[in-house]
């Protein structure tokens, strides 16, 4: 009786070990599939440009290979305007009585900004709290304090600011008349064509490409969008390896005649093995849930199973699929 119980315990422990082996093989497969489960994993366009200090480039999955000449003529700037000078950040304004600021952006009047703490610092807090597209900073110049206003980039975002003491009269000593920088649009050339935008981040000129403009180029820069499929091929080969390791694990676990120590045959006759095998194999052989016009399944990019269940990759077929899609 003891021998029978010991045998059952040993068998149960062996099965637990076998299930652990299945779980590990599945986790390896999950990792391999995880590198191929999103469109961004197939972004094979690698951008490069000859003047990285002047502009940056990011390519998405919709970008196409090609070469462009880029000339940055002017980056987009925001208007920057300074106030009159104040002796201290807490200098009383309007006799210490609350007042309002009137902001116009692009010729459109905004809601009045209520300044409840009538000081230069209070103005800064009120302007920033209003969130109307113009921000304020209090700058200590060494000879006093100035409030510096900064708008958003682009010529259409130019603004003006005035004060109102509550009677329609400007607050004494409060004006924003010193221009530090004029709002301008970005201007650049792509293949000789002049383009202007209100921002320095431009994503609607070259399909699938975002340009970040930093500074003027020295003459014309060259932008190359090259197709690099090495990482994609590496990930697909990783899936092939993980799948074949998984299949080999299941064969060892289900083979009563296997001589592999601790694992061989420990799950022989278990329906779980065939159930898991069938589900995983379907991930390789079934059509995609979102098929393309010409690429509908893994077989269309060179993945195939032989009669023994081994997965292989036809790299010539994969190369053609990556170059054409």
Average the pLDDT over 208-218 and give the result. Answer: 97
Average the pLDDT over 217-228 and give the result. Answer: 94
| pLDDT tens digits along 279-312 | 999 989 999 888 888 899 999 999 999 998 999 9
Work out the number of other CB atoms within 10 angstroms of the CB of residue 310. Answer: 13
Work out the number of other CB atoms within 10 angstroms of the CB of residue 277. Answer: 16
pTM value is 0.67
Strand partners for 102:
162
| pLDDT tens digits along 152-190 | 999 999 999 999 999 999 999 999 999 999 999 999 999
Quote the Cα angle for 170-108-103, to 5°: 30
Average the pLDDT over 60-68 and give the result. Answer: 89
């Amino acid at each position: 009786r003891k021998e029978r119980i010991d045998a059952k315990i040993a068998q149960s422990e062996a099965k637990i070990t076998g299930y652990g082996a299945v779980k590990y093989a599945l986790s390896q497969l999950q990792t391999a599939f995880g590198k191929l489960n999103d469109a961004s994993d197939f972004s094979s366009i690698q951008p490069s440009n000859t003047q990285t200090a002047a502009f940056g480039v990011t390519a998405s999955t919709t970008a196409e290979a090609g070469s462009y000449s880029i000339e940055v003529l002017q980056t987009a700037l925001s208007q920057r305007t300074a106030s009159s000078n104040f002796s201290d950040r807490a200098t009383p304004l309007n006799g210490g009585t609350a007042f309002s600021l009137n902001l116009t952006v692009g010729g459109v009047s905004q809601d009045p900004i209520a300044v409840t703490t009538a000081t230069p610092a209070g103005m800064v807090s009120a302007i920033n709290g209003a969130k109307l597209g113009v921000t304020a900073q209090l700058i200590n110049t060494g000879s006093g304090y100035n409030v510096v206003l900064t708008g958003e980039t682009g010529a259409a975002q130019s603004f003006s600011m005035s004060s109102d003491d509550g009677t329609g009269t400007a607050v004494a000593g409060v004006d924003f008349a010193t221009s530090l920088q004029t709002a301008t649009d970005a201007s650049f050339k792509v293949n000789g064509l002049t383009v202007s935008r209100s921002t320095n981040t431009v994503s609607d000129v070259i399909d699938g490409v975002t340009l970040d403009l930093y500074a003027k180029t020295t003459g014309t820069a060259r932008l190359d969008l090259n197709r690099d499929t090495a990482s994609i091929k590496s990930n697909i080969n990783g899936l092939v390896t993980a799948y074949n390791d998984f299949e080999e694990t299941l064969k060892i676990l289900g083979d009563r005649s296997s001589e592999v120590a601790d694992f061989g045959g420990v799950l022989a006759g278990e329906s779980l093995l065939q159930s898991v095998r069938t589900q995983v194999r379907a991930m390789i052989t079934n059509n995609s849930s979102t098929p393309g016009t010409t690429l509908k399944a893994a077989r269309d990019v060179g993945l195939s199973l032989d009669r023994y269940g081994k997965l292989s990759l036809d790299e010539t077929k994969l190369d053609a699929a990556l170059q054409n899609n």
